[in-house]
Amino acid sequence: MVLLHVKRGDESQFLLQAPGSTELEELTVQVARVYNGRLKVQRLCSEMEELAEHGIFLPPNMQGLTDDQIEELKLKDEWGEKCIPSGGAVFKKDDIGRRNGQAPNEKMKQVLKKTIEEAKAIISKKQVEAGVCVTMEMVKDALDQLRGAVMIVYPMGLPPYDPIRMEFENKEDLSGTQAGLSVIKESEAQLWWAAKELRRTKQLSDYVGKNEKTKIIAKIQQVSAFFNTSVFFVISLQTDKNVH
């Protein structure tokens, strides 16, 4: 098995193993899925930390409003009345105004916190230092653990607009967010090694040879629309110049 140390830019991400005979079309998609899967776990952990501290997401039309404004507009958090954490809620105001302040009690809070830490450890960049490869199965295991913890604390489920539920249902909307910029589309993912693009039409062994004990640093990136436009623009200019 060839060992790939996957980086984005100069930042370590994870280790992954693949036979040298692996088609690079398949490998590129596999690396992109693990990379994006780790990002999903990180996003969920971040939101679940807020869930543990301040309860469920407020309806979008109530977020950022003061209590007086909510009362004046006669807005009602209907899901807030349904989604009471197991064991009852403890009020802890969300100063940002995103969540309803009905936080889980200490016992349920610890269920969430413990699971968050375990999920983070599974996909941690420290796995690189430990020599542990991260697989899609491990990413799915982390997601399942997080989903299970939420179900324990909120057996009735979360509101359909809560980003945690949206992540679990793969309905998250990351457009216009910093998190969205980090995601790499599988169809536009590229792998590079030693300043060469590992073209999807070839096998891994076409680049690294037949030695299955090879270790390489593979960098993942997304094909840049700007780069493609720039190349097209340069070609157009050269063509126009030749015509004249």
Give 77-125 pLDDT, tens digit per residue: 999 989 999 999 999 999 999 999 999 999 999 999 999 999 999 999 9
Q: How far is CA 15 from the centre of its chain?
A: 17
Taking residues 34-52, report their average pLDDT: 98
Split at pLDDT 50, 70, 90, the class of 176 is confident
Taking residues 54-59, report their average pLDDT: 96
Where in the chain are the domains? 2-222
C-alpha count within 13 angstroms, C-beta hemisphere, residue 243: 6
Q: What is the pLDDT of residue 66?
A: 87
For the record, the structure tokens of 41 come out as 């776990």
Split at pLDDT 50, 70, 90, the class of 192 is very high
Q: What is the pLDDT of residue 231?
A: 38
Q: What is the pLDDT of residue 236?
A: 40
Mean pLDDT of the chain: 91
| Per-residue pLDDT tens digits for 135-151 | 999 999 999 999 999 99
Q: What is the pLDDT of residue 240?
A: 46
Q: What is the pLDDT of residue 53?
A: 98
Percent of the chain with pLDDT over 70: 91
